[in-house]
């Protein structure tokens, strides 16, 4: 219960602190993977609302595909997802994507990396996050960075690069809340929170 209260407090403080200065984003992610510890290969699906604070239109992302896992111990494993899917937006528009996600866990560090290409918008994304679990509750402290390449109709580019600190609060074994601030060295700065459910 204390972790749920702490998570709620983090959400309100992050959204309030960023409301007048930088963009605030709240991302919801649901993830299922069939590959278990005794199997190397399986399948995976993700259902994601990239930012539920933006509803005109509300964007959702559905991707699925191949999953590969390699387990050595509870705190030493990796998995990779190679997937295809599409953005489905509330205005009826779609944007098919190719998506690769990687997680590598070691006793003192967790690495997440992602690459995505959106075929309709021609948007390319590379994202990486590195955290270190601290204390008995394994609260993650680290950094995250996004690099985006996006052509605009005007012939200019919508490229963006951000980097900043990342904090991860495990709520249960399958649910976590991450809070990230990325300073926009090119493009705008933002606070983003990830509510992740693995099932």
Q: Which domains does the chain have, with CATH numbers?
A: 2-166+178-198 (2.40.160)
186 pLDDT band, cuts 50/70/90, is: confident
Q: What is the pLDDT of residue 19?
A: 47
Q: What is the pLDDT of residue 40?
A: 85
Residue found under tokens 């300073």: 183
Residue 11 has pLDDT above 50, yes or no: no
132 pLDDT band, cuts 50/70/90, is: very high
Percent of the chain with pLDDT over 90: 69
Question: pTM of the prediction?
Answer: 0.85
Distance of CA 111 to the CA centre of its chain: 12
């Amino acid at each position: 219960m204390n972790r749920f209260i702490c998570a709620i407090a983090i959400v309100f403080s992050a959204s309030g602190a960023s409301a007048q200065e930088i963009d605030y984003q709240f991302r919801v992610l649901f993830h299922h993977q069939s590959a278990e510890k005794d199997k190397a290969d399986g399948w995976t699906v993700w259902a994601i609302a990239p930012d539920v604070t933006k509803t005109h239109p509300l964007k959702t992302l559905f991707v699925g595909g191949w999953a590969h896992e390699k387990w050595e111990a509870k705190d030493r494993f990796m998995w990779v997802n190679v997937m295809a899917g599409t953005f489905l937006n509330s205005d009826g528009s779609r944007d098919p994507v190719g998506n690769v996600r990687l997680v590598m866990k070691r006793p003192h560090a967790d690495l997440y990396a992602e690459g995505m290409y959106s075929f309709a918008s021609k948007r390319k994304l590379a994202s990486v996050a590195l955290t270190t679990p601290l204390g008995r509750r394994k609260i993650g402290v680290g950094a995250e960075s996004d690099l985006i390449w996006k052509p605009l109709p005007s012939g200019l580019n919508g490229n963006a690069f951000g980097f900043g600190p990342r904090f991860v609060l495990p709520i249960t074994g399958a649910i976590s809340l991450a809070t990230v601030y990325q300073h926009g060295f090119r493009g705008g700065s933002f606070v983003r929170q990830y509510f992740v459910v693995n099932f």
